[in-house]
Structure formats: structure tokens, C-alpha cells
Structure 1
Amino acid sequence: MSGRIVQIIGAVIDVEFDRGQVPQIYDALSVDGTETTLEVQQQLGDGVVRTIAMGSTEGLKRGLTVSNSGAPISVPVGQATLGRIMDVLGRPIDEAGPVNAQEKWSIHREAPSYDEQSNSTELLETGIKVIDLLCPFAKGGKVGLFGGAGVGKTVNMMELINNIALKHSGLSVFAGVGERTREGNDFYHEMQEAGVVNTEDFTKSKVAMVYGQMNEPPGNRLRVALTGLTMAEYFRDEKDEATGKGRDVLLFVDNIYRYTLAGTEVSALLGRMPSAVGYQPTLAEEMGALQERITSTQSGSITSVQAVYVPADDLTDPSPATTFAHLDATVVLSRDIASQGIYPAVDPLDSTSRQLDPQVIGEEHYQVARGVQEVLQRYKELKDIIAILGMDELSEEDKLVVYRARKIQRFLSQPFHVAEVFTGAPGKYVALRDTIAGFKAIIEGEYDHLPEQAFYMVGGIDEVVAKAEKLAA
């Protein structure tokens, strides 16, 4: 079945077919003589369909012949994708030869049905103190890293990949959606150094990478998240010969906001009426279609970590606000905390997790987490009084709260492995029990005698004591 191009407006192309051979929505079309793939979005009547180009439309013109594949975009899945960098169509872009996959799956798939899904309350230790204590992750859960420009979303995600993916020893999929090509390149080389990508023998690799970076047309950025998700779904559902079960897979998406933004660009070109702040009217539906597929089934799980850019640091913007509803844990990165030099710049009062429940994490962990938040909240309230009247006007009890809060703030900072090259400080992985013990001791006043700076950029509480001794010497 073939048609011809009748109109080109940016990334949106109208193609005319015979009335009896009109392609279905989401069918993949290819423009003869080029490598351009189109995806059908609308049927306009009279045999004309409106499509989005998955690549550049430069050089296309009216009258060119277009062939219908009769099926949605399909991408390679399985072991052959490990260690490789692919584009939205599953084509290799790492100059290491073709991806010899046995199977191809359509990128448009149904989410698992309600009875196929499973819920888990098993915690996933990250080794990052502030996250493990205040917004713990669940295995098979969805986590969002929210932050404006330059507060450390990508660095936090890289550290999570370093701590979880490398220690987890399972399979991971990384989807780079509309982010900087330089970051994608850095990530690839870091994975090589860590041995997660083995270019000598791809079968020993543990991660598949799908990139649709900032320079790509909107159609590409709109679908690349689905390509990465499809590969992760295959690993989740593929039965392990030994256990007969699927796998536990990690899915990293950087950045979900660019997925929304690509939808906005495409929506305007498709002639849809914009909704609030210029976003597409189908924002919630598009986000739901992606997020509902990122789930755990009876056989395996997908644990996802998603970076979410927050435009102008406004968490009420429709894009981050729509994402919030789908997540189990939200890690909010704050510009105020970053400006104090405290990294990771996680806001301990804004960040939340559904796992922060005594029945899930245990009574001690819950009480320590709530105690830390209580002290920080009280300090926040006292800041105005301190600014106007000074510390001397506070009661002895309030002074103690302030001193402890400042120690907690500094103890929430931590040197990262992935930032070693910039900071010169070796990265620290802190076990959950050490994190709980450390913060419990601070709020109980065991370390009231130590100076604040001893708590800054260290791992466990034993390092605080060692640093204090060094400062006193």
C-alpha cells in the first residue's frame, strides 16, 4: 500500500492514500528513497492521514511516494540490545554494527491488566542518606527527581545508577529523552569504565541505552521514552530458565518533561487547541499511557527513576503536577539548598514517599524520619524570628533546635561517586542502618558538642567524629 505526500509543515506531514487503503492510527510509514519514518496520528478524511516524522524532514517534497508498513513502529528487544546505543526506531547509533535481535516488539502496547499487576513493599537501598531516610524507594516503584535548571537532577540520577544498577547486578534500560548529547556521551563512557557496558563482549553488558536528544525533531523525542520502556518490558516479562519468573529491571528516564514538551510541539502542529499554559489538551492521557506501563507484574518488576524538569521552579506547572500523581516517591531538589552548598540539594520537607509508613519501614526508621522533619520544620519557623531579633532572643530550647537543625542539614549532604572528578572527595555509600543510627543520635543530642562543619560532606556518623577530632587538632 502506498500513498504520496501532499503537505509538509515542519515535522507534520500529510499523506494521501486510496480511500480503501487508509493506514490505521500509529501505523509506521516510510518515505521511499529516504530513511525517514512517519507515524500516523490522525485520519483527516478523503484518504488523507496526518503523520509525525521521526526524523528530519529536510529534503522531503510533495509528491514523494510513501509506503505503509501496516504495523506500528517496532524495535529490537532482548539480550542483543544490551551494551548498545539505539535511536527511537531501535537502529544502532554507536557504530558497533547491527543489533541482531531475535524479536521486535511494537512500541505501542497495552498496560498490564489490574489482576496481572503486583505491589511490593520491599525497600530499595540507594546509599544516599537523605533519600533512604526521608523518601525511601520501593522495589518496583516509580520515583521522580524534580528540580529546576542546574540543581542536580542528572547528577543525582547518575549516582542512583551508580549505587543501584551496579550493586543490583540486574538489567537496566536508560532512555535519554531530549537531554544534552554531551550527558549521553558522558553516561556511556562512565558505564564502560564501570564495566556495565562491555564493548569487547556485549553479552556481558547490563544496560541498554536509547537516545533521542535535544537536537532531534519532536516526533523522535515524543516516542523515544516508549522505545526504552518497550525494551524494559521485554526484560521484565521474559521468563528466566532457572526460576521460570521474569526479571527485576531498572528503567532510568532523563527527562520526562522533554517528553511532555515534545507532545506540546506536536500537538500545536497537529492543530489541537492548547490547554493551560499552552500544553496539549491530551497531557494527562499521554502521561498516563506512558506511566501505566511502567509497573510490576506477578512475574517481574520495573523500578523506574525519572528526572522531571520543573519550569521556572514552579511545581504547580501542569507538566510536573501531572507527573506527581503517578509516582510512589518524589525527590524535590531545591535551589535554596543548592545555593547553601548542600548537595544533594534534596528538600527534606517537600520530598515524599508512600513507603514512609511504620508498617513498611519499621517503627524506628519512621520515628527518626519524622523527628528529623520536625526539627527542620521548627527551624524553618524560627528563621524569621532570628532574621529580625537575632539568636539571643530565642529560648534555650529553641536555640538547641536551631543548632541540631543546622547539623542535620549538613549531615544530609554527601559526597557522590560520580562527582569525584569535580570535588576531589571520594564518594560515600551509606547503609540504611548507619543512616538511621546517625540521625537518631543527632536528634537525641549525643553530638551537641561537635562543631557544625564536622557534619558537612561526610558519610556515616563515625566520619563526623573523626572530622571533628581533625578540626580540633
Structure 2
Amino acid sequence: MSDTNVIAQIEQQIAQLQNKAVKKNTGTIRAVADGVATIDGLSDVMYNEMVRFPGGAIGIALNLGETEVGTIVLGDISQLKEGDEVQTTGRLLSVPVGKALLGRVVDALGNPVDGKGPLDARETYPVERIAPGIIARKSVSQALFTGIMAIDSMIPIGRGQRELIIGDRGTGKTAIAIDTIINQAKINKIGLASGDPKFRPVYSIYVAVGQKNSNIVRTISTLEAAGALEYTIIVAAPAADNPANQYIAPYAGAAMGEWFMENDMDALIVYDDLSKHAVAYRQICLILKRPSGREAYPGDVFYLHSRLLERAARLAGKGSLTALPIVETQAGDVSAYIPTNIISITDGQIFLETDLFNQGTRPAVSVGLSVSRVGSAAQIKATKQVGGKLKGELAQFRELAAFAQFGSDLDARTKAQLDRGSRIVELFKQPAAAPIPIEQQVVTLWAMQKGYYDDLELKAVAPAAASLRQFFTARQTALLEEIRIQAKLDDAIEAKLKTATDEWKATQPKAGKPAAAPAA
């Protein structure tokens, strides 16, 4: 290298030298416990600002007192001790966003934890953002298919909706959410392969809060086996993590989903579950010595979830973010504090009943307590045509079954209603991780509507419906495609459906008319 080049480089370095004093806002740790650090001397810190601890750990300022600042610590807290120096950063906490996160498992800060190397994310979004206003939103009118027949036909979910999944422990809440994610992946593969320019794929974010690591691994394995992981981001804040990570994880997931929404794409986010999220927040607030209210939850626990769920929307001229929060009840009590809070924030709920689950009805959706406040606006016309009366018929069946179990004599009409209701219940039984495409759901329900299962034994209804779907998949792919594209049943399609279903019926073993179904 010539002397001229060396001199030029030295001059450049001298020109960049800053010899003036740099102002830094620093403080010292006074106490550390359970993911919370109390700091003295941070005079100019902002609410929700990031602060930097020794060793690179990050904290967020939550309590701004006169003499001290209460912060939550994200990451490893074991290295921190009293007297350590803390610095403000002047920035809000942000997480990486974009398609680079698809197929990856990340922690609450967006750091990869799956051993697949670093993320190639080019953008970051702040974890806490103000939800879109009324003017920016568009009404929910596009269906988001779960692949679960009982939900798609009676409690439809639309893109941009917030639908709560609620029920006791072990009733299949997570299974419904995972089925929905798997169904989006199946639809994505078909739609992207078709080359249709109007097709809009749905990308999924699954936020696991306070779960055992073994359960999270099982969920990841299920998604991978179904080929859905490549369209999914997993945000993991397991039970082993400190409460601060569990508190921040849903907001980090929402930020990742907002990137898709604001870049004219559709996303689905599952919060599993918000009961544990509220418990983690309660734990933080008790250590921060915030005043506690009902059940020792802090007074802003409603705002904790409302500011999270309001971020789900369908935006005019952009994409959508659909939220499926999960809440665990104790002994079916939907009137408890956290469940009622979240019911009031969301656009409906899918209630899973322990009794139905124990009777073998899977998914154990309670038709009476479940509701979608978007209603049939989020359904395709074909589903409305074949499933419009189902919810009423099932509700009548439950009511009649309650009376019939007293053993009184029943008239023919009541027996017929009980018989039909029993068949609908059987028809809606569906194994986990096996979502049914919407066109096959339409075929199955059309056959029910036209009485093709009426002469079968009760136990034979579900196998017969599966056989019908298999028959259509093998021999009537063109008709299924026509139903999927047109999304409604006209006279021509109904005629083809009748011909094909008659052909299937001829292949089935003959059965005599069964006796009236049992009451319960």
C-alpha cells in the first residue's frame, strides 16, 4: 500500500473522531428477582423503553417511580447482580419480521431456537403497536376455512376475525387451532400450484405461552408431518422461561403477523393460551408491587388482552390478520374473570364441552354456547345452502334429548327429530390433524340434507361419510373442483351431485331402516 493511501486513511479516521462528551443515561441494579430488576438512577427512561444490562441482556421499563424504575428482564437473568450498571437505549423493543421466519421456531425476542442457523430477516417491527383504527378497517367477508366441518358449517370464521377457543383442560382446544393451521397449508399448496393470480395464501403464527417443552415439540412434529411448518412461524415461550418472556411473546407474534397484513397478505395467529399469559403478567405485576385487584390480577389485565387482540383486523386495501386466542376454563366456568374479559373482546367463541369430549364427540364443540358474531358473512354460498339449518336442528336435538331421557313415550315427529340429530352429531365426528377440504364438506352435508344416511345404523354414519368423500376424491375430482371454484350449488351441479351420490350409494351394503336413535 502506498504512503499516499495510508495518509488518506489516517486523515479519514481523524475526521470521524468525536472528541466531545457523550451523554449516557445509566443506573444501577438495586434488586433482581423472578425476571424483574429494580433500578436506581435511570432518570430519563421512557415507558416500555429497552434498557441494556451487562452481558447483553435486554429489559423493558414498566414501572416508572420517583426514585426507582421497575423493569422486566428478557433472557437469562442468572448473570445479573445488585450494583451492576444499566443503560437506556432510547428504543422500543422490536422483533424481526418477514417470510424469512416461516418454518422457524423463535423465542419471544425473535431469536431462532431451532438450531437451523441465523435468520435472514431484513426488517423489524416494534413489539407494541397501536391497533388499526375504525376507518382503516374493512368488514369481515372472506372465509377462513378450519377444515373442521362442525365449525365451518355452523360457527364460520372469516379473515380478520377474532374467534376465541374456550374450554376445560384436555378438551381439544389446541387440536382445533393446529387443524386450522394444517388446513391453511393444504389450501396454500393447492392454490399456489394452480397459478391463480387471485389466490391469497394464509401464513400462520403459533404462539406457545407457558406450555411444557414436550408439548411444543409435539405440536412442531405434527405440523412438520402434515407439511404445514413451511407456512408457519412458531413463537415459543415455554413454562421454563421467565414470566417476562411469556408476557412479551404474544405481542412479538402479533408484530410478525402485522408484517403480513400490512404487506397485502393474509395471516392467522394462534395464542395458546391467554390464561397462562395473564398469570405470567400477574406474577410480574405482583413482584413490581403494582396494586392488585380481583383474583390478584392487576387493574389493567383487560387492557393487556384488548390491545393485543385489537391488532387483528382486515385492512382496506391491504391484508388481514385473523386471531384464534385460546383460554382454559376451570370446570366449564365461562363466567370467570379472564374468560369473560376475552369473550367481550372477541367476535365469537368456540366452546368445547368436557361431557361431549368424554362421550366421544370429537371435536367436542357445544353448539348452544358457541357463536360467531360475523355469522354467514364469512361463509361461501355452497355451505350456507347445505348447512344453513344445521345449527337450529342440533339445538332442537339437544333440547329434546334432555326431555327424552326421562323415558316418556315419544310421538313419531319427536323420534324423527332425535334420529336426525343423532346422525348430524355422528357426521360431525372428525379425527385430529385430518382437516376436510370445503368442497368435500359441501358434498358430505348435501348427502345428509338429501337423506342418503337415513337408512344406516347410527355407528355407520361417520364411516359412510368418509367413504363418500373417498369416492368423490377418486372418481369425481372435476366435480369437486367445480364446487370449489364456483362456491355455490346451482341446478347443474346439484344434478351431477345426485348422479354421483346415487352411484356411490349403489356400492354400499344394503341396510334396513334402523330403529329410532337412543335419546341421550
TM-score range, shorter chain: 0.7 to 0.9
Q: Does 1:383 align with 2:383?
A: no
What pairs with 1:191-210 in structure 2 (closer than 5 Å)?
191-197=223-229, 205-210=230-235
Instruction: Tell me the CA shift for residue 377 of structure 1.
Output: 2.9
Distance 1:352 1:39, change over 3 A: same
Q: Distance in 2 between matches of 1:79 and 1:157?
A: 21
What corresponds to 1:36 in structure 2? 57
What corresponds to 2:353 in structure 1? 334
Q: Does 1:247 align with 2:271?
A: no
Distance 1:3 1:339, change over 3 A: same
Q: Distance in 2 between matches of 1:362 and 1:331?
A: 20
Q: Distance in 2 between matches of 1:364 and 1:97?
A: 46
What corresponds to 2:479 in structure 1? none
After superposing the two structures, state which structure 1 stretch, 267-276 or 452-461, moved more. Answer: 452-461
Matched residues, percent identical? 24
Cα deviation 1:206-239 (Å, max 9, x = unaligned): 322211112111111111001111111112213x
What corresponds to 2:240 in structure 1? 215
Q: Does 1:186 align with 2:218?
A: yes
What corresponds to 1:200 in structure 2? none
What corresponds to 1:64 in structure 2? 84
What corresponds to 1:355 in structure 2? 374
After superposing the two structures, state which structure 1 stretch, 259-268 or 228-237, moved more. Answer: 259-268
Cα deviation 1:221-270 (Å, max 9, x = unaligned): 111001111111112213xxxxxxx1112222221222222122222222
Q: Distance in 2 between matches of 1:18 and 1:217?
A: 24
8 Å contact kept, 1:415–1:457: no
Amino acid at match of 1:32: P
Q: Distance in 1 between matches of 2:381 and 2:266?
A: 28
Q: Distance in 2 between matches of 1:471 and 1:273?
A: 70
Distance 1:310 1:457, change over 3 A: farther
What corresponds to 1:136 in structure 2? 156
Instruction: Tell me the CA shift for residue 188 of structure 1.
Output: 2.6
8 Å contact kept, 2:161–2:323: yes
Q: Does 1:449 align with 2:470?
A: no
Q: Does 1:437 align with 2:459?
A: no
Q: Does 1:405 align with 2:421?
A: yes
Instruction: Tell me the CA shift for residue 364 of structure 1.
Output: 8.0
Instruction: Tell me the CA shift for residue 114 of structure 1.
Output: 2.1
Q: Does 1:417 align with 2:433?
A: yes
What corresponds to 1:11 in structure 2? 35
- State the secondary structure of the residue aligned to 1:456: helix
What pairs with 1:7-406 in structure 2 (closer than 5 Å)?
7-17=31-41, 19=43, 22-33=44-55, 35-46=56-67, 48-168=68-188, 169-197=201-229, 205-238=230-263, 246-298=264-316, 299-357=318-376, 361=379, 369=387, 371-390=389-408, 393-406=409-422
Distance 1:365 1:109, change over 3 A: same
Amino acid at match of 1:231: M
- State the secondary structure of the residue aligned to 2:78: coil
Distance 1:458 1:286, change over 3 A: farther
Cα deviation 1:39-71 (Å, max 9, x = unaligned): 11011112x101112235334321011122221
Q: Distance in 2 between matches of 1:280 and 1:435?
A: 49
Q: Which has the larger radius of gyration?
A: 2
Q: Please tell me the root mean square deviation across aligned C-alpha atoms, in Å.
A: 2.7
Amino acid at match of 2:27: G
Cα deviation 1:404-462 (Å, max 9, x = unaligned): 211111111123335xxxxxxxx6445342254144235xxx64332111123664683
What corresponds to 2:5 in structure 1? none
Distance 1:360 1:76, change over 3 A: closer
What corresponds to 2:488 in structure 1? none
Q: Distance in 2 between matches of 1:405 and 1:248?
A: 36
8 Å contact kept, 1:414–1:458: no
8 Å contact kept, 1:178–1:221: yes
Distance 1:18 1:121, change over 3 A: closer
8 Å contact kept, 1:5–1:61: yes
After superposing the two structures, state which structure 1 stretch, 229-238 or 183-192, moved more. Answer: 183-192
8 Å contact kept, 1:415–1:459: no
